[in-house]
Structure 1
Amino acid sequence: MARAVHDIEPNAEVYVIGGVAEDRITVLIDIDILIVTKRKLSGKERKELSKKILIRAMDFYDLPFDAPVELHIEDEENAKRFFSISKKFIKITE
């Protein structure tokens, strides 16, 4: 997922948050990915970016189309909310 993000949005930071990052993994849990952009995006832009990243991940990096992944795309200011409520987060680097 991180490679797909960086292909589309090179300056973004990628984090795993939520249950997977906190070791609360079950068969029912999804994988929450927080993508922090350097620029502010409208709701429509976030939706389009999410779609581009998921397509890239499936087409180039073999992400299964039914992978339980949920993308959260935020600018640096709004990402602070996720960091403040997360017990743990994992930064993904290449």
Structure 2
Amino acid sequence: MLSWVRYHFEHLRRWREYAEKICSSIKSLGLEAEVYVIGGVAEDRITVLSDIDILIVVENIDPSTKKKLAIDIMEKAIDSYGLPWDAPIELHIIDRNDMKTYFRLSKTIKIC
């Protein structure tokens, strides 16, 4: 039997594959965005409590639509691109004006 810890680390090991599925989802939804992996995964400090933080930078975003957009992106990635439904991904959708703050606080890896 596979332990939860091993199972979780297997997801984390596939972070680049999962991030690319998010990129494909974003593109198929017609959204113009830059996508980065940030946080512990980008900084190579993965622990059992880690998730895959994906930063999505868009030109202008109404804060009230961020949650709906995140759901649409995840649903498309799962349904169309085979992202596992239990992948430990956290989406951070921000406006381009807020990008510098994230870049100052964390290492980033550009995906698309």
Tell me whether 1:59 sits opposite 2:79 in the alignment: yes
TM-score between the two structures when normalised by the length of structure 1 = 0.89
Which residues of structure 2 form unaligned runs of 5+? 1-21
Which of 80, 90, 94 matches 2:109? Answer: 90
Which residue of structure 1 lines up, in the alignment, with residue 65 of structure 2?
A: 45
Q: CA RMSD in A?
A: 1.2
**CA distance in 2: counterparts of 1:5 and 1:83, whole angstroms:** 21
Deviations 1:44-75 (A, max 9, x none): 21111101000000001111111100000001
Identity %: 52
Q: 1:30 to 1:92 in 2, by over 3 A?
A: same
Give the Å deviation of 1:31: 0.2
Select the structure of larger CA radius of gyration. Answer: 2
Would you say how many aligned residue pairs link Structure 1 and Structure 2?
Answer: 91
Of structures 1 and 2, the one scoring higher in RCO (CA 8 A, sep 6+) is 1
* TM-score between the two structures when normalised by the length of structure 2: 0.76
Partner of 2:18: none
SS at match of 1:10: coil
5+ residue gaps in structure 1? none
2:6 paired residue number? none
